[in-house]
Structure 1
């Protein structure tokens, strides 16, 4: 194996996966029909054998499309695992749908579930094994990829740190040119030599260029000089404005980068929406007696409607009506106009004080989640009048509308709600959007219940 991963190595990775998937498919049959599990049909071995290779090849194709087979040097195992789990799930759902139309009366659903579990576990195991073997091969044969860093941008420093954390990479840094004052300390700490002149291309496998945006001309000069050399050149663009992510697309051969593009893709949004819908439906069902009692108490305690709908700004700046149990007197803002609630707010009803402190007034927003206006977790929505005010005062304020508004959020579980720092809230919202995952949503929901609904800043 040369410093760059040979096609033969990738062929071994793909062939291993095909073998593992065929094995998992046939094992799923024997576990279902030849083991202690009761029921099922016999005489299906021929069908399973016939479908084993097509299913395996289809799954490998899905893995490839989800970039599972990218370079081990530049992809951390955690990233590879997430891609594999996502691709494996999509492949399984697709296989189930296809088989339903082709062999719906013959194949066991238990066998298909067995296949999904077995194949996923075996793939994770073999990929970890291959990565370990790759790391040992690199160390034993000194199969290192020599990388030269060029530039003073913050992103190139982040790149260096991530490569150093990836133990399987087999990457060594032969130098850092034009590191700049901010990166020189990092270079010294990580034993990356600083160079004044370009190292000869014979000593370099990969050149990584990453200047700040105001020094783009330097990057262009280096590219013009070295683009035709027999080395790999990687360019890290200045993404200082891309606070919540970016997306690179190909438009008829023209690369286009969209900045501040949220991380979740179509599959992620489908996953989040499904989780929201099922959870909101079950929540409304389970909490219906409590909702009915609160509604009755609101009606009996003061004049006016049970629910209060207020205009809020949600995803992509679109307005929607957010519902709450009414906790204030009718026409509470007739004289004051739109103002935030304050401690000991005289506009609150007696019951409303309890509802707001315990956050029970927010429960009707499960209906907003069911409709799709909101999510269980996300940045808390604000009224249009305040959005128009804050977007000119607080940096990056509007980026919070790149994600669907939520009943609870990262800012709320960290104590930034009510009359607290808006800047810190925005930081939390941007962190959430940038690092979104279903597990983060579950963590926030857990923290919401763990810390309780009662909050000293809830007025």
Structure 2
């Protein structure tokens, strides 16, 4: 068992990260100067490149500490670790480029830097994923266990126990419960859990048994006991976690922060509230939209001509939608309907065989080609490539009264495509189901999640059977 050696494991991770970056460096050197270019020495010697590699390695490790990549991650999903690895490499490269600019070193191969950066990220991800999977296998098999004592055998405590039972890869084993009102052992699926005594027996139990963590799962009615419990655990050098009695009204990932000297629980965690996350997403939006507009420019021209030729009126259709922070903006689309007063289009759903549509409009709506001008909305900053679909103010006012969580979708920029859409919730489908998917996206956003949604959008195709 590995117990009480977190500092050693952290040092081991730092060493492994350093060695992986060195391997990436030599791999990039061979690829750039021996495979892609046979004339070695056209730039700077290997020794000079290696010095800059050390700068990058140190910068990566420092940033990794800042983003808490070396924190214990037994209960953390690999997806969040992926984003931290990417952050560390991105800022590490930024530091390296800044140093190169400062010392006016211009002979470094840019192609080498790109190859080095990509290989370093790939190798870090592969080795971290492999380590995580090996550790999970070992924990599932009974190795590297950590033992948990739960205070409170009521609904909260049993819920926590069930979660541990469903996730053997965490390597956490419940030794038993302390409870003031229950004496019979708890039977759950294949195992029986002991009631080891009352809460007052905590200090005695901690001296008699090897316990790594104490989980407080007591009701708020006994909140006065919390301070003494925490004091006893910390005196014994045992970690303490609290499952709040009001967990059932909190979302999946509440966010903890500080306001002066006071700790606060933000009821809903929104990763895009963080500046660095917003910056990364905005950079992705701009780059992707520019590429999409350039690549799709022939299609844009053909559709524009088709709209103009097949029906009188403007090529583009502008409609007010509600976006980030409930602010309104004008969303662009290729016009697919006959000209009509705005009041008609702003308060009516499009239905099957809608007489307002043109023949060409029916085609571009079915194939989602009418949505292409929204890439210009993305460049303006009104929208994102990925996010909840924006709605008209009339229906927003209606839905917010009917669906309690509807307005949460406006915590982020609306998108051209979204998690709900790639899961089949497009057009005439359940608004409640769409909002649940939108909230899941908002609370679990990562850049990789955006990339996944874009890929699924392409794979699923642009034809929408529910688009009228």
Partner residue, 1:165: 167
TM-score (norm 2): 0.81
Unpaired runs of at least 5, structure 1: none
CA contact (8 A) 1:245 1:263 kept: no
Partner residue, 2:405: 396
Give the superposition deviation at 1:126. Answer: 5.8
Partner residue, 1:376: 385
Matches within 5 A, 1:229-244: 229=233, 230=236, 231-237=238-244, 238-243=246-251
Distance in 2 separating the partners of 1:311 and 1:140: 57
Secondary structure at the counterpart of residue 214 of structure 2: strand
Secondary structure at the counterpart of residue 309 of structure 2: helix
Q: How many residues matched?
A: 452
CA contact (8 A) 1:155 1:239 kept: no
Give the superposition deviation at 1:142. Answer: 7.3
Give the superposition deviation at 1:172. Answer: 2.2
Give the superposition deviation at 1:78. Answer: 5.6
Give the superposition deviation at 1:373. Answer: 1.0
Change (3 A) 1:395 1:117: same
1:220-242 CA distance string (max 9 Å, x none): 42443442432221123444444
Partner residue, 2:431: 422
Distance in 1 separating the partners of 2:311 and 2:180: 67
CA contact (8 A) 1:179 1:194 kept: no
Partner residue, 1:259: 267
Partner residue, 1:201: 206
Change (3 A) 1:449 1:2: closer
Partner residue, 2:38: 38
Matches within 5 A, 1:265-414: 265-332=274-341, 334=343, 338-414=347-423
Distance in 2 separating the partners of 1:296 and 1:179: 77
Distance in 2 separating the partners of 1:409 and 1:71: 32
Distance in 2 separating the partners of 1:38 and 1:190: 64
RMSD: 3.8
Secondary structure at the counterpart of residue 103 of structure 2: helix
1:217-270 CA distance string (max 9 Å, x none): 334424434424322211234444443743322344432222223134433333
Change (3 A) 1:72 1:338: closer
Unpaired runs of at least 5, structure 2: none
Do structure 1's residue 449 and structure 2's residue 462 form an aligned pair?
no
Give the superposition deviation at 1:445. Answer: 2.9
Distance in 2 separating the partners of 1:328 and 1:255: 54
Give the superposition deviation at 1:343. Answer: 1.9
Change (3 A) 1:276 1:9: closer
